[in-house]
C-alpha cells in the first residue's frame, strides 16, 4: 500500500527540519515498537539543549532540553479548494498529543511551500504541548472511524514565512 501524498510530504519536511536544526536528532524507536517507526509518537529529540533563535523561534519556552520529545508538524503556507485560498492546517491527533503532554513534549511547527517540485521550509515555531492544549479542550473530532484529531490553522501561530492577511481566516 502506498503512503498518502500528505504523509510523504510530511516526511520530506521532517527530514529538512532535521537537516536544518543541528541540535535535533531523529527519534530512536524502541524495540518494543516492533519496527512500527511510522506510528511512533514523536519525531526527534535534541542531543544538546536547543535554545530559541531566529531560525527556531519559540513560544512559552526559551529552550528545549536534551532528550525532550519533539513532534514535527508541517502545513503548507497556503491551500486551495478551487474557489478560495487559505492558510494551511496542522493535523494533531489526540493519542499523540496526550503522550506529548505526559512527557513534557514540544511541537515544532513547520510551514512549507512547493518550489520547482521541491519542498522548501518557510518558517518554524516551537510550542510546548501544554500551551497547545489550551486551544484543544473540547475540540477533538472523529471522522470516518479515524482517531480523534484536530486541525490548527497555520495563521493562528506567529510563524515567520506565512505572509498574507492572517485576520482573513
Q: Name the residue ranges covered by the structural domains of the chain.
A: 5-161
Mind listing the pLDDT tens digit for each residue in 80-89?
888 998 899 9
Residue 12, pLDDT > 70, answer: yes
pTM greater than 0.75 (yes/no): yes
Per residue in 32-83, pLDDT (tens digit) is 666 555 567 899 999 999 999 999 999 999 999 999 999 999 999 988 888 9
Cell digits of residue 97: 498529543
Amino acid at each position: 500500500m502506498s503512503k498518502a501524498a500528505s504523509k510523504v510530504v510530511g516526511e520530506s519536511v521532517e527530514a529538512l527540519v532535521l537537516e536544518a536544526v543541528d541540535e535535533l536528532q531523529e527519534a530512536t524507536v524502541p524495540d518494543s515498537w516492533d519496527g512500527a517507526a511510522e506510528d511512533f509518537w514523536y519525531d526527534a529529540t535534541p542531543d544538546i539543549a536547543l535554545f530559541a533563535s531566529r531560525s527556531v523561534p519559540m513560544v512559552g519556552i526559551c529552550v528545549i532540553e536534551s532528550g525532550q520529545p519533539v513532534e514535527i508538524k508541517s502545513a503548507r503556507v497556503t491551500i486551495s479548494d478551487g474557489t478560495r485560498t487559505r492558510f494551511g492546517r496542522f493535523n494533531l491527533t489526540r493519542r499523540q498529543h496526550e503522550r506529548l503532554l505526559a512527557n513534557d513534549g514540544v511541537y515544532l511547527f513547520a510551514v512549507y511551500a512547493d518550489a520547482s517540485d521541491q519542498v522548501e521550509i518557510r518558517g518554524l515555531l516551537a510550542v510546548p504541548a501544554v500551551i497547545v492544549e489550551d486551544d484543544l479542550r473540547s475540540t477533538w473530532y472523529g471522522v470516518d472511524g479515524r482517531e480523534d484529531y484536530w486541525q490548527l490553522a497555520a495563521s493562528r501561530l506567529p510563524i515567520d514565512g506565512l505572509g498574507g492577511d492572517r485576520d482573513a481566516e
